[in-house]
Every structure is written in structure tokens, then in C-alpha cells.
Amino acid sequence: MKSIDRRDFLKTIGSGIIIAGLPISIAYSKELFKAKASISQLHYDTCYAHWFVGKKLGFYKEEGIEQELFDIAGGGETIRSITIGGMNWGGIGVPGAISASQKGEPIKIIGGDVAVPLINWLVKKDSQIKSIKDLKGKKIGYSKPYSNTHFLLVKSLKEENIAIEDVKLLSAGGLAEAITALKTGMVDCTYGAPLIAAKFEKDVRVLWQTSDYFPIYYTTVIGTNDTMIKEHSDILKGFLRAHQKSIDWVENNRDEAVKIWAEGAEFKDVDMAIKAMKLYKKGSWNTKLDFKALKQIEDDLIEFKQINKKVEWDKLVINL
């Protein structure tokens, strides 16, 4: 048997090589990067199960990241949590990112996330509003200005030739506040995730789904800030690898993924959550960006006069 000196022996056990049939490993005390991630409606929609899965199964830790999740109201609030609020990255809406970037805020898009718009629009169960066309003269709630709900509401109304001047749009805040606004009559119609529609099915009904008009749309992409890009690009690359691994696991283990989400979100009706998850088609998540889809959002924003100039994608989207 070939002998090895002390230095070679230390290298051998440090690499975890099996010696004499026994696995030898050394526990290194490498400090994990403590990250904070913000996602709007994190606890109200199973489409964010992959964030919980990666945390629960240790995919982020494998990349040297200890990630804490924060549920933010949406729109500009989620963007600002990343640019000035201490968050390292998060799931953000493209319209909000574009608006913030054009105002000079240091937001950057580094990958895709949820690529399907499963937003329900709800009315009271006994409402006389029977279709989207009946909303003329009514009050409609969305989350925050420049959020996905704001943008997709405007797009949906336009599809039915309803002018913005013919309705009253109100910022209703997060999902819990939006449902309260509907129940108390502050709005006649408001947004909701599939889980919310199922949870309050005795009190509300779905007037339409955003996907009825727009089957492909980025609900969220991965956003970060200039400081992370400059100082921690390797951490961001590791995060994206772990995130895609989480997505792949969810695709192949949906029922188990929902259970992990329900545990993290403290959602008790797991059977209801499993039903909601089945509404998502295969391929609803991917960290790879579809620039054709991004360009379509830009065109729509210009058409609706929510922005007045072309997007400088080379400044907003960073390829790590």
C-alpha cells in the first residue's frame, strides 16, 4: 500500500474521501450569506411554493445562502424594499421594475420566476355584476400603483373596450385588505389569488381570471440592487442555481411542494392548496428570462401611457 505523508493525509480527509471503507468528513464553519428576500403575496398563493421548498430542503444553503422570506404588499413597495429597504433580492413585477428603473432607482432584473398570471377578479356572491362589462361606473380594487394587479386590470378592461375614465380604480393594498374592502363595500370588485377565491367561496365569486385574456405573463421576475450586483455577483449566481433547483423539484413533486408551502405560510387547508396548485400549467416557473415576453410588457406600458419612453433593457436586465 502506498504511504502518504501528513499533509496528503489532511488533504484526503478534508475532501471526504472514503478510507478503509469509512467516510471521513470535516465540518467546515463557513459562514452563510444571510439574505433577505421580499415577495408580494408570498403567504397567499401556492405559485410561490418554490421559495419555501428551497429553504426547507436546503437548496439555498448548498450555495452558501441562509435566506429569510418577507411578504411585501406589492408594486413600488416591493421594489423599494430591495433598493432602499435592506432586502437583497426578491420576486418583483416587471411594470414596477421598469417604472422604478426609469426614475433612476437602482433595481436590476437577473432572472425569471413566475411566468403565468393567475389573478382572479372577485365580486360579492350576491353582486348584480355578472361580467367585466358591468363594471362601468364601479369601484375596482388593485394592490399598489404600478403593481401587476394594477397593470393587468387596466389591460383586461381595455380588452373589453372599457375606458379607465368609466371606472374608479382604488389601491386596496394586500390581499387581506383587498378582501376586507370588498366585503365592506369600499370596492365593488377586487383582485385575489386562487386560494383566496377558494377560501371565501361562500362570500365571493370569480368574475374573471386574468389568464382568460393573457395566458402568458410574468407575474414575478427576480430583482436585486446595484450593490448586490457589484459586491456579491457570485452569491446571486448561487441563488439562481438554487432557485431553479427548487423550481424543478416543485414541478416533479407538486403535492409535496404544496405541503411545504402550507407549512411555511401557516395555511391550514392543504387540500384546498393542492387544488389551487393544479391550476398552474407545467412550465409556469423558470429562472430563464423570455425577452419576447418582456418586450410585450414594454409595448403595453407604452400603449397605456404608463411609461413614455423605451426601456433600456441593457441597464435593467443583468446577465450574470
For the chain, domains (ranges, CATH) are 34-116+217-316 (3.40.190.10), 120-212 (3.40.190.10)
Residues 6+ apart with CB under 8 A from 55: 67, 69, 264
In three-state secondary structure terms, 310 is coil
Please tell me the pTM assigned to this model.
0.78
Whether the pLDDT of residue 54 is over 70: the answer is yes
State the pLDDT at residue 21: 37
- CA triple 40-41-43, angle to 5 deg: 130
In three-state secondary structure terms, 196 is helix
Rounded alpha-carbon distances, angstroms, from residue 198 to 103, 123, 231:
38, 13, 44
Give me the count of residues in the chain: 320
What digits encode the pLDDT tens for the residues 273-317? 998 898 788 889 999 999 999 998 999 889 878 899 999 999 999
Contact 70, 39 (CB under 8 A): yes
State the pLDDT at residue 256: 98
State the pLDDT at residue 137: 96
Please state the rounded mean pLDDT for residues 157-169. 95
